[in-house]
Amino acid sequence: MAAVDELAAVAARVAGEDAVQVGSTAVCGVVPAIVVAPESVAAVSETLRWAHGRRLAVVPTGAGTKLEWGGVPRRIDLLLSLGRLDAVVAHRHGDLTATVQAGAPLGRVNELLRREGQWLPLDPAYAARATIGGIVATNDAGPRRHRHGAPRELILGVTFVRADGAIASAGGIVVKNVAGYDLSRLLTGSFGALGVVVQATFKLSPLPPASRTVVAAGLNSGTIEGAIRAVMASQLTPSALEVQGPPFALLARFETVQEASERQAEEVAALWRGCGAADTRVLTGAAETERWTAHHDAVWGREDDVCRIGLLPDQLPGLLEEFAGLLRHHGVDGQLAGRVETGALHARIGSDAAASQSIVDRLRLRVEGGGGHVVVLRGSPALRAKVGPWGAMGDAARVMDAVKRRFDPEGILSQGRWPFAEGRA
């Protein structure tokens, strides 16, 4: 790799004088040589064309809230910041769609959409600061995934810059469209390994007129299983159905017209009390908002290790019990929060590398048999080196490897975040 000063000088010619910065905070202990923040899609394209020719290792970034997730980058010659591409390009409120640049923070996007009574119904980790590009790159979703789905369910089209600098689009701006391959979904959750997303179009939702949340707290494993089964068997239509703990609580949110929201909240409260959940309360207004903030912060509020767990919903009660037992056994703090019906969870494990390693191993043993997985999103490089961030990928890894080679033959994008083809960069 060339000297940093020379890199910076050339980058300044390519992307503009004010776009380049030497030195940056480390990403998982890897210090980027330079940071480039292009001010236009064309400049992103020019930067990548140059980086591709020089085989520089490039990692795209937005607000950096999820930059340390996944595999540890092996080398970062160029941290490519999309922060200056932060426009809401179009809000077609009559069509319930919006096109947004990658660097726009979700919080600000939703402030704008709110003017027409709409929103992009995503509530990922660090939702206010997290940028559209990062949310797409990680396919990160929160409690409302229960009703609205993850980003891959809402994305309609994408514009991205390929590793070689070419600007490509797929999908479109309409909600229904099957023309061509769905590269929007391929890029969603690809952790910046296949291309640099510069713009995406999403399906929006009307803002719900009213909201109620029912919280059943202090549940033991017997009552929690009954309470989950009761709500799953009912005709209730929550927008979120979450578990959090230990000690375990269930949360059901009803976002709809006032009357239906009230009625359903009362109904689920009665159901849960009937299952032995004595401490069941209906929240609204500020108390409700506060409770959901606490729910988010239970996992994301500390700089601890965090895993993403995917499992079949009926494996959940057993997993909760095992997770609580493992924390007790190792004497570490930890919290789990996730979507009961989807089977998508996040688990925070207090920072103790040895305990984390043992807990991740045990959780993998439990869920992998049923097709589940435990991914280490955030953790010390030592933990990730020991357990492997992704876990088993099966025979699909061969196909992913082939896809990576076709999209990034030189292997310059997000090296190390995935275990796939690294090319020659």
Report the residue number, 4 or 322, with the smaller CB distance to other proteins.
322
Q: How far is the CB of 72 from other proteins (least distance, A)?
A: 16
Q: How far is the CB of 163 from other proteins (least distance, A)?
A: 11
Report the residue number, 266 or 350, with the smaller CB distance to other proteins.
266
Report the residue number, 264 or 357, with the smaller CB distance to other proteins.
264
Quick check: 88 and 109 in contact, CB under 8 A?
A: yes
Report the residue number, 329 or 406, with the smaller CB distance to other proteins.
406
Q: How far is the CB of 394 from other proteins (least distance, A)?
A: 6
Please tell me the distance from the alpha carbon of residue 149 to that of residue 142, in angstroms, as a whole number: 9
Q: How far is the CB of 279 from other proteins (least distance, A)?
A: 25
Report the residue number, 178 or 286, with the smaller CB distance to other proteins.
178
Q: How far is the CB of 17 from other proteins (least distance, A)?
A: 29
Q: How far is the CB of 232 from other proteins (least distance, A)?
A: 8
Report the residue number, 321 or 368, with the smaller CB distance to other proteins.
368
Q: How far is the CB of 204 from other proteins (least distance, A)?
A: 11
Report the residue number, 2 or 166, with the smaller CB distance to other proteins.
166
Q: How far is the CB of 318 from other proteins (least distance, A)?
A: 13
Report the residue number, 81 or 110, with the smaller CB distance to other proteins.
110
